[in-house]
Structure 1
C-alpha cells in the first residue's frame, strides 16, 4: 500500500482540473486529505470557445469557467494568487506573497504561454495565450474604424484566429483586413488535406498568406519580415505555439528540448513522481503530442482516479493516449471545418455540432459548480 498523503495541491485552473476537481475533493474528504487549488485567476476561458468569442459569436461570460463556486462547494481551499516557483526537493509551492505551500503530491495544470520572440518596437502585439489578457485586449477594438491585423503563425490555431478576427471586423462594419504570416511553406503543416480545405475558405474571405517568411519585428503600424519587407499591421496577434511556464522550466524536472517537463503513463513527472502533469504545460515522455485542449480534457478522468488512488493508498491507473484527435476550425460565421486522421468534413452542421459540444461542456461545468446533478462527465 502507498502511504496516504496529507496535502494535495492543485496548481492551475486549467481544463483538466476543471473536470477533475470534484471527484478529487470527494476522495480526499473520505480519507482526511487536505486539497488546495492555486491560481492567479478565479475564472479561466474555455479554449474551445475562444475563436468563437473573438469572432463575436459568444460573449466573454459564456466561455468563462468560474472556479470560485465549484471550489467552495467541494470544500477545496482556493488560493487566488500566482505561484512563482517550485521547490521540488522540499516539496513546496512558492507564491507571490512569499507564502510557501507544502505538498505530498502536486498536480500541475497551468497550460502554456504563447511564444513571444517577436521583437517589439512600439507595435501593438498580443499573444493569444494567456487568453484572459487577449480577450481584454480585443475589447479595445470597439472604437477602431479601420484596422489591418497580422496573425503570426499559420498552424490550425493561427488559421482559425485569422478567420475569427476577420469575422469580428466584418460583423462590426470595420474597414481593413486580416492576413496570415507563417514560416512554413503551407498552412496547417503536416495536415495537407486540412490545408486544402481551408485555402478556399481563406481566399473567399480575402485573407492572404505570407508563407515561408519569419516575422522579425513589430513597429508602430507595421510588421517586418525576414526578407526585409514591411507590411501594414495596426495589430499583431501571435499564434506561434507555446512555451512552458517559467516555474516549471526552472524547477529541475527532466524536460524535452523546449523545457516542457516529461510525464509518464500515470501522468507523473518521469523525474519527480510526486508531481502530476497535465495539459499543455508538459510533454508526453514517449513522443511529442500537439498542444491541444483535447488532451487536457481526456486526461481528467485518469488524473481524478489517480488522485483518489493516492488518497486511498491504492495503485495508479494508466492513461490511454489516442493520438487521432479531432481538430475543428470555426470560420467565425457559424461554419466549421473538421479534420481527424486525414478525413475532412465541412459545413454549417459541423459548426452546430461543435457549438453543441462546447455549450454542453460549459453547461455541465456550471451545473457542477451549483451542485446540481449532471456535471461534466469523467
Structure 2
C-alpha cells in the first residue's frame, strides 16, 4: 500500500471506532450481533484491506490489519475481534488451498465486501465429514464460532468419518443445513457471536474443500497460530489504550480529590500522576514489542512458500512474547484504572469494566504459561516452538 492509502484506512478505522463508542457500553450489556456496526465495516471497504490488489483488494499488510484491530479495540473489542478473525478465516485458502481457490475467494470477497465467520476450532472433533462422491456431507456442531452470525462465508473444519483426518472448507453461511445459534453469553467479548454452529447434512462441494490440512506440508501453512495470537495481542493493546483514554477523560472531568488531600482537583494528586505515568510507560513498552512482532509477521507473510523454519521459529517466539506481554499489561491497566477514577466510575452506565472483562476473556484463549515455556525454551536452548494448533 502507498503511505497515503494506508493513512486513509487508518483514518477510516478511527472514525468507525468513534462511532462504535457512542453505544458500545449499551451494546455490551445486550450481547447479540451488532448488525449495524458490522454493516458499517462492510461499507468502509476495510474487509478487503489485506486482499492483494490483483484480486480486487487494497494490497495491505498484516500490520495494516492489526493497526485497524487496535483502533477498533479502543472502543469495542468485540468488533475488533470479528474484524481480525475475518482475515484469519479469509487467508485459509491462501495457506491451505489451491491457486484457484485463493483467487476465487479473494475475488468474491473483494467484489461483495463479504464478512467471513469461523466454525473451525481444531481441538473440537465434534463435526464429522462423510465422503459423498467428490464432496463431503458434514454433521455435528462446534462452539467458539466467532463471527458466524451475520457472516457471508464460513470457514469450517471436520474430521473424516473413515480416517479421522482433519479437513477445512469454506461454505456460504446460509447454506441449507447450517444452523447458526447466537447463544454466546459470556462475561466478555459479548458481541463476537462466539457461540454454536450446528451442521445438519451440510454438503461441502469439491471446490470448497481445502487441499492442505491445517499445519500441512509447508512452513508457510503453519502460520495460523502466529496470525491468531497477533490479532489477540492487538486487541489487548487497543483495549488498554481505550481504557486509559476513558480513565483520563473521567479523571479530568469527574473524579474528586480525597477530602483530606488539600487539593482542588483529582488530577493534582501525586499518586494519580505516578499511576498514569506507570501505565503509559507499560503500555508503550508492550506496544513496541507488538509492533516489532507485526513487522516480523509482514516479512514472513511476504515470503510465502519460501519461508524457512528458522524464520518461522523466530516469528513464533516474538509473537508469543508480544501476546503475553500485551495481555499482562492490559489486565493490569484495565483493572486498576478505577483507582484513579473512584467509586462513582463503577456505575453500570459507564461500562468501564468492559475493557477488563474483554481482556480477561481473551487472555484465557490459550494459556500464557505455555507460550512463556516456548519462549524460555527458545532463549535457553535455541529450540524453536514446534508448529501446532497454538504454537
TM superposition score normalised by structure 2? 0.22
More strand by share: 1
- RCO higher in 1 or 2 (8 Å CA, sep ≥ 6)? 1
More helix by share: 2
TM superposition score normalised by structure 1? 0.22
